[in-house]
Structure 1
């Protein structure tokens, strides 16, 4: 959450910019321009902001606010559920999604400004209510994009150029209730937009059981967003963007399990007078917050445009265990608290050198400070042992000492990281139908490791006519592991306890370095648009993430080498009030030899992976989505709409158990699934009232997202069962 002092700093900065530029401005308060001129200038500045960024040669898929409203759930659903409708995106547990089989390699941008990631792995960081347009940009990205290169979630927010207030209530199955409000307005050269919502649900995280109702899975969430801008003159605008989320979760409980521990003499171990614990009674909880703010100055005059932004972000995560239950189930119970604070400065610019050449350049500086504190309760043991004749077995824990009581092991650490980036690229129109976008970026990451790389990029786009567009490109990528997730442990502290690891190697994570090739085409035939895209990726120190332990906090690690390839087919149709889309993606992602944070794995798994390429745990061979909507514009049904959507997956990976009892990590896949959603709604003329009914998982399909096995997989999870939801909104 932004502190009062941080907000005061943003206010002073904005007033300072106003003082510096308002006096000579064409739209100063003493000489206010008419509203129509304000709107025209605002749109021209918006166009200039869009021209600064480019996705030329990359694969881009866009949904506007109208398309989002046509989806079942509309903007009442988490933003990740909207992104799942885009090509090459697959579903995972805890609200995660993967773009082209990348784990957490997504960068969020709001109005061109980079928003540093959250620590949280479930729940939504951003609300769809702020979105005017959202794009997924992936493939061989231009040099402007770096550090997170799996995909760019590029969001253009709503503005206040159209006054209005909308209040709504949405709710239904799983005890869901979600009131919200949106306010937009303007006065002279100033416009604003704000949204806020509260959500309660009895299904906060995916159920760990396949039944209809989860046990101990409630959530309460608050989400707020605000945007305000002021036009300083015909060529300048300042804008302040900010948001805050607060999300409290109960961790869902499995059923039918009984936990208990025995000591070296075979006697039951007692914790707080209990020797056994039923899984239905566990009380584990997690709280996560995320707050960000960005102050931006946009300038556009003649052939030159730039946007400079100062960015701040604070993210926290706190896990509170059930001490008695976890000690009896796992032999350890850990309280965990993480906080990450980021300050950044970003500049992006464009200069139209001639009709053939447009230069783009930019800089990024980011300072991160992460603090982590844990308090681990464990039992002392008779001592760890190691058999050198069986090196793949690692260290073995001793038995719990007779009459042992839990001991507390506190640990705290703080680390700092700085990132420096710069890029330069040229959009070269060689002929009217052939464009080459080439350039390079330099990134240096000075944190747990000091690493750097110069990364060339090149994309070509050919438009021979008749609705055909062909693109191909190459990109060299440099992607450090997510700093806010990097953990450090004092392994020696837990030796000879029930938390002692099987492996005692703990190398620091590396930055992922990757060669990426991409090619595809798009063909428009009347109202149809057909697209086909293929890619090949070769990685060194491939970054992956896993959940290790009860706290739902992901920890990054590296495979020494990785190989990923795939293809995507998309189809869109739009005619009158009817719109339809469909996409299907094939992917294969593998890695070999885990070379960082090895202590999180069993020695036998490390030995196997060191000599074999295995599937990444989040690899899904086939992923797809489809949908259709119809809006009546005339007649008795004018204002009515119906829509349907579907998600399909061939199943994420799980461990394969062989006949001899040995295990192939990620050697199997879970069963495939398809879920369907329906929606119907009606807008009542000029009254401002809008009602909708949504049905999620129409056929109540029971499908498993994770079964609790696989490299870095901590818990099973099932997709939500059928839910019926009703919403009503009123616009003023």
Structure 2
């Protein structure tokens, strides 16, 4: 778990993003923005986020970049065979508890900046007033590395971003047993799509056959607004909560009309939107101190709109492209529904033995309709003091994100360079899987603990996504059969002002036979996948992270490291990019007071070794362009409390 202190201790502290925090957890793999930023146990997306126990629904952009770190009081990543109360997105649960306001009203403002023309202005404020508790945080962000650089250079070309994020929380204690809470959040971000210079034109358009790839002007905007209203009540041995949630999100990619045609033969104006409203209810009945029954439901409706408005080059009778583009308009809109319910029994059979068994039912009515009854069970055994052993099984049902599974009208691309080699567009189906997980956590000394976890997943219709065009958006498809297996090792040492941790994970995910949106694939690659189990593009064999922090003479220093053996690349993902290591450093201390409030200074170095490493090389399934990790950057910040 990352509490507030451990988040502040990480290099860049409150300025780091939630996905960068998660990279310090076992089995979490770094990826590019186009690939989803990170992967838990080699899964693509399939992660759910909960704030104060309330599920936040999917949108058309990832929550890893939407939420502001400033509001996080604590953050935990829960993996494995999840209990029945957690459904739909099951690779991992990011469980966030919002910060509680201070007893005395106050907050802080910060200035933070440095390399890559970075500037941030975070603020936060909290107060307890009578029965009210309120907390708000937000920031403005500007830098020249909004998305991953396409080259190994220190500075990317055409990669400016401007972002604004806000989070607000308010709760009112109606009485000692009843509380009404409200959560709201906003993220508005504009991105320039980075350029790769010296690329060779592939087509001619409007009589032009040359364009300087360093001067392309592609842009993308992302907007997200979410709100949660929750009523919680405690009566005797019963605790209940009823929540209403909503999320409105849009993504809009605007192409360089001439440049995209000359380099790609198509210029696509891509718009995606999703508006979700839903209810979630949970109740827990404590039969005894050692026995708790739980039940709950969730229902949500989502209205999505996906529009691909393209200019594309037609072809003549011999298949040669012409230089006068034609219009291809492909809209899709859908009102879809998801509903689910669960019952769960957690029973401490003996002092050293706990059983958790449950049953979950989920139903989806989207582009396809499907349902599943899913049993879950786990046993936790503590044979000796300091040792905890667990073994668990879960049956999972994972609907595809509705915006990512919108159908494509292949007919609008007939007689153009985009006419697919495989004219099949079977609908994207929900993933069904059996998941087994076992592990042990052992406290070796009062300061040192270590853990080992193994897992195995067997799936039908494994869900995967890829970037199959210039826009930084994903399109979903299924592998007919797949498996995912791995081993994770973790250690944590804590003594006084010194804290250190290390994680290492081995994993393998492979699938075969593409059964939906087949048109996305070339015929040779499609045939190969039909006859072989291949690695998914985001599969990484070895993943590691480590870090340490210490306070000396009032100055806290910290170091963090991430390691990856390389994501997949090449034809049918048969190779991988080179291994890499990124090391970050941080120093921060209180340097004085202003109006009797502390003033804090921090200094951060990202990628100390200045290692130019690739996350993607532009090849592999659903990989449109190369992406590199950040080069060395120096950053300073001042934080003034008030």
Please report the TM-score for the alignment, with normalisation by the length of structure 1: 0.85
Give, in angstroms, the shift of residue 411 of structure 1.
2.6
Counterpart check, 1:624 vs 2:544: yes
The residue aligned with 2:57 is 116
The residue aligned with 1:693 is 603
Counterpart check, 1:351 vs 2:272: no
Please report the TM-score for the alignment, with normalisation by the length of structure 2: 0.97
Between Structure 1 and Structure 2, which shows a larger proportion of helix residues? 1
Output aligned runs, 1:499-518, within 5 Å: 499-518=418-437
Output aligned runs, 1:491-570, within 5 Å: 491-524=410-443, 525-570=445-490
The residue aligned with 2:299 is 365
Q: How far apart, CA to CA, are the structure 2 residues paired with 1:407 and 1:121?
A: 33
Q: How far apart, CA to CA, are the structure 2 residues paired with 1:202 and 1:123?
A: 19
Whether the 8 Å contact between 1:118 and 1:125 is mirrored in structure 2 is no
Counterpart check, 1:73 vs 2:7: no
Unaligned 5+ segments in structure 1 are: 1-61, 262-268, 385-397, 656-662
Structure 1 residues 587 and 270: alpha-carbon distance in aligned structure 2, compared to 1, 3 A threshold: closer
Q: How far apart, CA to CA, are the structure 1 residues paired with 2:118 and 2:616?
A: 24
Q: How far apart, CA to CA, are the structure 2 residues paired with 1:357 and 1:260?
A: 67
Counterpart check, 1:157 vs 2:98: yes
The residue aligned with 1:648 is 563
Counterpart check, 1:669 vs 2:579: no
Q: How far apart, CA to CA, are the structure 1 residues paired with 2:564 and 2:200?
A: 33
Structure 1 residues 122 and 225: alpha-carbon distance in aligned structure 2, compared to 1, 3 A threshold: closer
Moved more, 115-124 or 298-307: 115-124
Q: How far apart, CA to CA, are the structure 2 residues paired with 1:554 and 1:183?
A: 36
Give, in angstroms, the shift of residue 463 of structure 1.
1.3
1:186-241 CA distance string (max 9 Å, x none) = 21000100011000000110000011110000000000000000000010000000
Output aligned runs, 1:294-313, within 5 Å: 294-313=228-247
Count of matched residue positions in the alignment of Structure 1 and Structure 2: 635
Whether the 8 Å contact between 1:123 and 1:247 is mirrored in structure 2 is no
1:698-725 CA distance string (max 9 Å, x none) = 0100110000111111111000000000
Counterpart check, 1:710 vs 2:629: no
| SS of residue matched to 1:259 | coil
Give, in angstroms, the shift of residue 484 of structure 1.
2.7
Give, in angstroms, the shift of residue 356 of structure 1.
3.5
Q: How far apart, CA to CA, are the structure 1 residues paired with 2:403 and 2:106?
A: 38
Q: How far apart, CA to CA, are the structure 2 residues paired with 1:123 and 1:171?
A: 21
Counterpart check, 1:680 vs 2:587: yes
1:580 to 473, 480, 500: 500
Give, in angstroms, the shift of residue 603 of structure 1.
1.1
| SS of residue matched to 2:383 | strand
Give, in angstroms, the shift of residue 497 of structure 1.
1.1
Output aligned runs, 1:446-461, within 5 Å: 446-461=365-380
Q: How far apart, CA to CA, are the structure 2 residues paired with 1:494 and 1:413?
A: 16
Structure 1 residues 122 and 700: alpha-carbon distance in aligned structure 2, compared to 1, 3 A threshold: farther
Give, in angstroms, the shift of residue 383 of structure 1.
4.3
Output aligned runs, 1:333-344, within 5 Å: 333-344=267-278
The residue aligned with 1:130 is 71
1:268-303 CA distance string (max 9 Å, x none) = x342x6321111010000000111000000111221
Q: How far apart, CA to CA, are the structure 2 residues paired with 1:597 and 1:721?
A: 37
Give, in angstroms, the shift of residue 260 of structure 1.
4.3
Structure 1 residues 554 and 415: alpha-carbon distance in aligned structure 2, compared to 1, 3 A threshold: same
Give, in angstroms, the shift of residue 646 of structure 1.
0.3
Between Structure 1 and Structure 2, which shows a larger proportion of strand residues? 2
Q: How far apart, CA to CA, are the structure 2 residues paired with 1:296 and 1:355?
A: 26
2:31 to 92, 106, 126: 92
Counterpart check, 1:444 vs 2:363: yes
1:679-701 CA distance string (max 9 Å, x none) = 00102466410110000000100
The residue aligned with 2:340 is 421
Whether the 8 Å contact between 2:306 and 2:403 is mirrored in structure 1 is no
2:3 to 48, 64, 69: 64
Unaligned 5+ segments in structure 2 are: none
Q: How far apart, CA to CA, are the structure 1 residues paired with 2:63 and 2:338?
A: 26
